[in-house]
Amino acid sequence: MSDWSSTFWASTAGLFDEEDGGDNFDPDQQTRWENKDSLILVIDCSKEMFQRTRGEIPFQLCIKCAVSVLKNKIISSDKDLIGLVFFGTDKSQNSSDFKQVLDVYQELDFPDAQRILDLEKFLEDDSCDDFETKFGHNTGYSLNDVLWTCSNMFAKSSQKIGHKRVMLFTNNDSPHADDSALQRQAKTKSRDLAEIGIEIDLMHIQPPGRAFDSSIFYQDVIQLDEDECGILPDPAEKFEELLYRVHRKEYKKRAITTLPLTLADGIELGVSVYNLCRPATKSSYVNLDSHSNEEIKTHTKYICKDTGRELMPTDIKLYQMFGGEKVIFEKEEVDAMKTLGDPGLLLMGFKPKSSVKSYYHIRPAQFLYPSEKSVSGSTTLFSALLTRCIARDVVPICRLIPRRNAAPRFVALLPQEEELDEHKTQVCPPGFHVIFLPFTDDLRRLKYEQTPKATEEQVTKAKEVIKKLTLGFESSQFENPSLQKHYKNLEALALDRDEPEDVTDHTEPNVEGIDRKAGDAIKEFKDVVFPDNYDPSKKLTATKRKAGAAEGGSAKKSKASSDVEIVMREEAQKGRLAKLTVPVLKDFVKQAGIKCGTKKADLVEAIKDHFGV
């Protein structure tokens, strides 16, 4: 060991912590995520798509969805690629010279503000007439050519593309009804695209006056996700339904990690771990060079304090303080000490579902779904385990090691059945919620002080208030107003708007509605609980002497003390001292010169004794 290296041992203050680094990182998965996702929106432009149905024009619904997707991509993943293709037009403009496949209206590229502005022109009142003049309509297209065009767009992209997806918007369930050869070509081409990893999703819209039958043609063209269990949702009738379906398909279902679930010796299946939800945050700021506006790259170097020499990773050692001494470790030794087993889930046994208490919640739950890619036959075994757990109302208890060098945790696997809504759209997927269980030192045993109990009349009035103000809460109904305002301002700047759109803050209470619905009940509750002329919104605090107050200071202080003592005596006589905060009680005890303990119960008893209550 050289002389200078002893000065540069790194402290391992967080190195030996069990939660170090989090449980959500998988290097192999992260490598796959580095590739850009790509999405091509393919919109049917036949005349039927321009016929108003239920007050909406299907083509404009598709454009609204495209605008929404572009806005979301700019916010959430601006490095992804997106393109737009029209088909069924009279005029054609594409690199392959296919007939009746317009543009490639927008090439596969990064989302930007100009693309949104271009699409918003199709939402104007006279846009349908302009479209027919500029592009026209033609039913002589070939869906095989449409899919070929999309394949060429992916192939010609200069970016490194990971996930490839095509979304097909149409209200025509049989595009080549009179030509079986074209149908056969389209089905063959869709299978070819599936083999090279290009997914095709159908965003079907309810046609006017009849039902959309996907079994005629499209069930052999599109690929359904595993979690859809071979069931295609009903066609969308409203913009909200179509947009919801687009947003669900827009994002790739990315697993945090894939682990083996060991049920017994020699019996294991592959499972993927997912986060069903995560907090939405504002995009991070990017540091730019003030002269060139180029993005700055950060590079960290460790420099020896004594010699000024740059240190390599092998020059840095780690230590932990023990008994006042630095215990030195190599990085490999630290990794070996933190390794407590191979990553995976190990079944320990089963417990009744009722044994998983709500207060066990220590971190957000994750979700398990079978992975056929890691272990063949996992879906069948996973389904059998899920079915029997639901039937017997039990939860498997497992030991979880999410990644190498991570601390093991005990988890309960809470089973969940699949749920579909009235349109056969999946609401809840089948699988297990991973509930992280606390260790002994994660729980505290609290001692509750004795507090005055409410009377029967007070409880009755409180129940009336609660009954009148009870509402069905769903988090999806409330958007974060801070985030919405942030992104509306960015959108206004990027799209050169005069001013940003107004943001409605749904977290603000509806005072008028509350007063109309429960005003009388609230007043009755206040009359029963609080005395006359008592304002519960005001805090009981002693008046402090202002700095620099010279004359009359003692008199003012004496008057304030007298007022506080009168109020405190009244509170003691009516048994409401326990409702006051500890700082207020302490302040009065100090002011009155009462000697007692610092706990709230001691303070209350001392004040009662002081007033002879």
69 closest CA partner among 55, 52, 81: 81
Q: How far apart are CA 134 and CA 89, in angstroms?
A: 10
Q: How far apart are CA 572 and CA 568, in angstroms?
A: 6
Angle at 236 between CA 78 and CA 225, to 5 degrees: 60
Give the list of residues 6+ apart from residue 31 with CB closer than 8 angstroms, or none: none
Query: What is 347-385 written as a DSSP string?
Result: EEEEEEGGGS-GGG--S--EEEEE-TTTSTTHHHHHHHH
151, two tokens? 């394949």
Q: How far apart are CA 425 and CA 237, in angstroms?
A: 13
Residue type at position 43: I
**Residue 431: C-alpha distances to residues 113, 367, 415, 426 (Å):** 40, 7, 6, 13
Which SS3 state, helix, strand or coil, does residue 310 take? Answer: strand
Give the list of residues 6+ apart from residue 475 with CB closer than 8 angstroms, or none: none
41, two tokens? 């929106």
Q: How far apart are CA 510 and CA 529, in angstroms?
A: 24
First to last CA, the chain: 75
Please provide the size of the chain in residues: 613
496, two tokens? 């050169």
**Residue 400: C-alpha distances to residues 15, 113, 366, 385, 403 (Å):** 20, 45, 12, 18, 9
401 closest CA partner among 436, 431, 371: 436
Q: Where are the alpha helices (DSSP H) in 77-207?
A: 113-120, 127-134, 143-156, 180-195
Q: How far apart are CA 243 and CA 248, in angstroms?
A: 9
160, two tokens? 């490194």
Just list the catalytic residues.
32
Q: How far apart are CA 90 and CA 104, in angstroms?
A: 14
Give the list of residues 6+ apart from residue 569 with CB closer than 8 angstroms, or none: 611
Cβ-based neighbour number of residue 519 at 10 Å: 12
| Residue 54 φ then ψ, to 5° | 55, 40
Q: b or e along 543-559 (b: 16 or more beta carbons within 10 Å of the residue's beta carbon)?
A: eeeeeeeeeeeeeebee
